[in-house]
Amino acid sequence: MEVQSKLAILADAAKYDASCASSGGDRRDSRDGRGIGSTTGSGICHAYAPDGRCISLLKVLLTNWCVYDCLYCINRKSSDVRRARFSIDEVVQLTLSFYRRNVIEGLFLSSGIIRNPDYTMEQVIEVARRLREEEHFKGYIHLKTIPDASPELVERAGRYADRLSINVELPSASSLKALAPEKDAGGIERTMSRIHLRLQAAREARREAAALRSLPGAAPAAAAAPRFAPAGQSTQLIVGADASDDRAVLQLSHRLYRGQGLRRVYYSAYSPIPHASRALPPQAAPLMREHRLYQADWLMRFYGFGAEEIVTEGGFLSLRHDPKLAWALAHPEAFPLDLDRAPRESLLRVPGLGVGSVDKLLAARTHRRLRRADVLALGPSGKKALPFVWAVDHRPRPTDLQALARPAPPPQQATLF
């Protein structure tokens, strides 16, 4: 099979994995004339990482052959999809070729399981090793960790990858056992724990190296700490393939953030696949549900919300209102807040006020009392916050909250006449 045909098959097969953002890596480039690539420039793509960089990745599978028979996976063993497999050299040359043409700035590489997890992981690692050591590629590399791969291979993967990830796949261990019998939820979390411990050790080694360099009379160039996946690890959850509600999803995410130190949990709305098992839902999960989970995830990580309190409607997030507004409408006793006296953690719970907006209000109120104009100066989001706060010249009316709780009118097609 020609490389172009393989690329069409294996790039399409990789589209279901959402966990490929490229933020958080080391800053490096090849301006010293050695090697190729960087992690700091802007490519020709239109996808921006959370830290503002424009990054595009070659996102492919090494192969879509797989010895596992996960019912929700298009590449499962019993699927009749067209199969293909890249050689290690083909992936290396594709990555370099696309980079030289300014099409990509990094590589996201995953694979179906061939022979066994260790063999597959060795093949994935060899691609990264050749790019780093033989081709001196300095761009971004994200490697998908194969479940049940040996700890030694996970250690090797971290030497070459900027980020590692292993997908939890489903919110409950019972669902995973039913829909992916070859996978073990406990084994996946054990692998996560190994990566987490190794990341902690790498951070501690960097701190110790920095402290040595700062000692009086220390050598100007101390030995660098061993490198291990500087962008951390992430995972992905499929939403809607089983009966788990949003509360279960967010509880698992919260536990993984706190216990495993994950950088991100990605959510992927289940989409029916050809010749699917009857054990799977016939309908796709609403994309709005996926969107609400990302919003709730953000509230947990940056706004101090707990997984239990965000969910307000029978275990599921509201599809009509964003999670922050839904929580505020469900807790009218918490509002309105006095802009001049409310603590920061309370202001962060006001719909429309983000971290930056709250910091601006806190800075302004150290010099004077806040007014309605200060809130409106924050932009459209400030107007959204007015029903939940009061100031010297502003007192919200109860009808303002009632208006927000009413369903929006259905959209209507505009007319040209």
For residues 216 and 176, what is the distance between their CA atoms, to the nearest angstrom? Answer: 55
Give the three-state DSSP class for 200: helix
Instruction: Tell me the chain's radius of gyration from C-alpha atoms.
Output: 24
d(CA 165, CA 318): 29
pLDDT for the residue 33 = 57
d(CA 313, CA 319): 10
Distance CA 110, CA 143 (A): 6
CA separation for the pair 81, 115 (Å, rounded):
19
Helix 185-213 with 246-260: angle, nearest 10 deg: 40
According to DSSP, the residues that pair with 106 across neighbouring strands are 57, 140
Task: Report the pLDDT value the prediction gives residue 10, as an integer from 0 to 100.
Answer: 84
Asked whether residue 44 carries a pLDDT value surpassing 60, the answer given is no
pLDDT of residue 410: 66
Q: Provide the 8-state DSSP code for 83.
A: P
Least confidently predicted of 85-99, 140-154, 270-284, 348-362: 270-284
Beta bridge partners of 233: 164
For residues 277 and 275, give the distance between their C-alpha atoms in angstroms, rounded to a whole number.
Answer: 7
Asked if 54 contacts 47 with a C-beta cutoff of 8 angstroms, the reply is yes
pLDDT at 46 over 50: no
pLDDT tens per residue across span 85-100 = 999 999 999 999 988 8
pLDDT at 305: 92
Spell out the residues 6+ positions from residue 117 whose beta carbon is closer than 8 angstroms to its own: 146, 147, 148, 149
d(CA 248, CA 120) in angstroms, rounded, equals 32
Closest of 69, 67, 63, 61 to residue 84, by C-alpha:
63
Q: Which amino acid is at 400?
A: D
Predicted confidence band of residue 314 (pLDDT cuts 50, 70, 90): confident
Q: Mean pLDDT over all residues of the chain?
A: 84
Please report the pLDDT score of residue 407 as a whole number. 64
Q: Is the pLDDT of residue 49 over 50?
A: no
Q: Which comes out higher in pLDDT, residue 68 or 275? A: 68
Question: Which of these, 153, 230, 231, lies nearest to 194 by C-alpha position?
Answer: 153
**pLDDT tens profile 234-266:** 999 999 999 999 999 999 999 999 999 999 999
Instruction: Using the predicted structure, report yes or no on whether residue 294 has a pLDDT greater than 80.
Output: yes
CB environment 330-356: b (16+ within 10 A), e (fewer): eeeeebbbebeebeeeebbbbbbbbee
Q: Of 16-30, 52-66, 306-320, give the range with the top mean pLDDT.
A: 306-320
pTM: 0.83
Percent of the chain whose predicted confidence (pLDDT) is above 70:
83
Judge whether 152 and 169 are in contact, CB under 8 Å. Answer: no
389-404 tens-digit pLDDT: 999 999 988 776 767 7
Q: Give me the pLDDT at residue 45, please.
A: 34
213 pLDDT above the threshold of 60: no
Q: Which helix (H) or strand (E) holds 173?
A: helix 173-179
Q: What are phi and psi of 243, to 5 degrees?
A: -90, 5
pLDDT band at 223 (very low <50, low <70, confident <90, very high): low
Residue closest to 240 by CA, chosen among 192, 179, 155: 179
3-state secondary structure of 393: coil
Q: How much of the chain, in percent, has pLDDT values that exceed 90?
A: 53
Residues 6+ apart with CB under 8 A from 74: 13, 16, 81, 273, 274
